[in-house]
Amino acid sequence: MHNVKEDVDVYEMYGKDSKIAKDEFIKKHNVKETGLSTKKAEENIRNLGLNEIKQAKPKKWYNYLLESLLTPFNCILIGISIILVYTDIYLAEVPSYANIIVIAILVTASTLLDFVESYRSNKAAEKLKEMVATTAVVIRNGKKVEIPVKNITVGDIVLLSAGSMIPADLRVIEAKDLYVGQSSLTGESDSVKKTVELEETEEKVDSIAELNNICFMGTNVISGSAKGVVIKTGDNTYFGKIAHTLSSGKEKTAFQKGIENISKLLIRFMLVMIPLVFIINVEKHDIVLAFTFAVAIAICITPLLLPVILSSSLSKGAVRMSKKKTIVKKLDSIQNFGAMNILCTDKTGTLTEDRIVLEKYLDIKGEEDTRVLKHAFLNSYFQTGLKGSIDEAVIKRALENGLEEVSKKYKKIDEIPFDFSRRRLSVIVSDGTKKQLITKGAVEEILSICTMIDYKEETTPITKEIKNNIEKIAKKLNEEGLRVVAVCQKNDIENIEKFDVSDEKNMVLMGFIGFLDPPKETAKESIEKLNKTGIRVMVLTGDNAEVTKCVCNKVGINSKNIVLGSKIDKISDLALLRLTKKTNVFAKLSPIQKARIVRVLKQAGNIVGYMGDGINDSPSLTNSDVGVSVDTAVDIAKESADIILLEKDLNVLLDGVTERKKNFCKFNEVYKNGNKF
């Protein structure tokens, strides 16, 4: 979790733009529906600079040089050389420069080696990171365009949806059930609802938590959609102002702690040895000679080349791993990547093809019904949130069935976006004569809001027998490996003007749509190889147990014992740890439950990797020792990850791990062959 000390005047920064009404804000800032022109955007960037935080900007060459020079061991040697200037030159009858020259050569060699490797590897890493740079959707010249975050400027209209990173400080001008995660700034895990107008408050606003119509750079959209106008960029943002007070959300890894402990141990050893050697020798020799000998001992036990070997090994490993389609964002993560003994992964796209195909569209009795496909198509076609593979599969199948004309007969009225607690999404459409609310989502969640069923255009109340039969059909489809989504609708909504989640009730169940996401041909072989290298693969998924079991059986993961998220909430961390020892598959998990499993595994002494690409994977990516994502992941997942794969395939991850292990073996070989540190 990030720790923030608020040392900026929030009211001074945002009070004026936050307190005025939307229309007044638009007029004041001359905001146009067409957004900025290219010319105006370029002018703003010239005047205000790129949208970058000073602390996050690429380092200059001299920054790397200073870091290489001022290592703990170099500082000790520099201190010793200063003392030698006094003893060997100032006090000595015949000045001797030999020891000082030797130390100068060693420090220079150590610094230059470290500098060359660090500078070269970091420059290579910067180029690689550009391949997965975070982007944002803005309106420029009246068109939606996707641009790098650094090119966003004041006045830009930014479009937000679930999974988006907030690219700058924005004043919200349109919002639909917008919930934003601000834990990176406030430390609060609960998402915050953002609205167009500021809630009435008599007191002066002095915290960002009170600014419900401002979205802040560095936070992310949990659910909903919105439009916002950029009011501050780069160092002028709240994030920029308090960047120096932010501590990393990730704990130090075992590798980092180990290096720190070695350094501290050696320094403590020197601090004890130098006075001791001096005291023993001062009785037999003069002070200068005794002190010189003590200093010589310090030089001997100082591991001069330890930082050089570490940095060069890690940086070379990063460059080699890049050739295996594995991009290393943080050099320190390489050690954990190769040392991990547990890999937690989501199911979709990692074990499966992530090539979802709509196989079936059935009514409530399991018979094919084009009306179910039609309603699902309208929902997927008109929704404007985070369009996933399910929506794309629905639209593709509908177009193949000649339903393209249907979309032209309807007009979108409103939308209730998807979120991970409801696990459903609704759109409100009209054909000119009546409004219709159409909802699709997980079977359990849809059943919970339906009181009627539609069978062959006749509606009847849901009975217990009908409900049991519906659940039976859905379970059978799941066992066949199909992911099932239910579809429902409601017509008596003519008097409703503004729609929200509370309107999703007393609905009519239409039927199901079933999707097939076949297992990857390479998944079984990859898992076997990972197991042979000592990495246990665990599946943490939000999908239901039946589909998960079907996929896991096909790829060779033991799914005899599947634990559901509902059980996890009822047990302690100790009991959960016992479960993880005999369970490889966890299903129906929320994002928080996934993160908890990762945390418990890590606290038990395991080195845990987590592979994910969705919004719900972000907490787990942060909690793990090494977070792995892919270049097609949502923004927040890419930002949370330590390592990014250019292909969502366990084979690519396996290649990266193998390359890392080779790198570690070479490091050990160098160490054992007698290279003196």
Q: List active site positions.
A: 346
Phi/psi zone of residue 31: left (φ > 0), alpha (ψ -120 to 50 degrees), beta?
Answer: beta
Q: What are phi and psi of 131, to 5 degrees?
A: -70, -25
- Residues near 606 by beta carbon (within 8 Å), at least 6 away in sequence: 341, 342
Q: Determine the Cα–Cα distance for residues 359 and 430; give it in Å rounded to an integer.
A: 28
| Token reading at 542 | 């939000």
| Token reading at 368 | 């094919």
8 Å CB contact between 249 and 622:
yes
| Token reading at 372 | 């179910």
Strand partners, 453: 460, 509
DSSP summary character for residue 234: G
Q: Determine the Cα–Cα distance for residues 178 and 206; give it in Å rounded to an integer.
A: 22
| Token reading at 103 | 């130390």
Q: Angle, nearest 10°, between helix axes 287-301 and 254-282? A: 160
Q: Determine the Cα–Cα distance for residues 405 and 180; give it in Å rounded to an integer.
A: 36
Q: Determine the Cα–Cα distance for residues 568 and 583; give it in Å rounded to an integer.
A: 12
| Token reading at 619 | 């907490």
Q: Determine the Cα–Cα distance for residues 540 and 591; give it in Å rounded to an integer.
A: 10
DSSP summary character for residue 205: P
Residue with tokens 């299903």: 587
Residue with tokens 């845990």: 608
8 Å CB contact between 370 and 346:
no
3-state secondary structure of 606: coil
The angle at the Cα of 302, spanning 301 to 305, to the nearest 5 degrees, equals 125
| Token reading at 511 | 């039927």
Q: Determine the Cα–Cα distance for residues 352 and 518; give it in Å rounded to an integer.
A: 6
DSSP summary character for residue 665: H
Strand partners, 169: 232
Taking every pair of Cα atoms in the chain, the longest distance, rounded to a whole number of angstroms, is 111
| Token reading at 569 | 């909430």
Residue with tokens 């040089």: 65
Residues listed for the chain: 677
| Token reading at 377 | 């198509």
Q: Determine the Cα–Cα distance for residues 173 and 156; give it in Å rounded to an integer.
A: 12
Helix (H) or strand (E) holding 650: helix 650-672
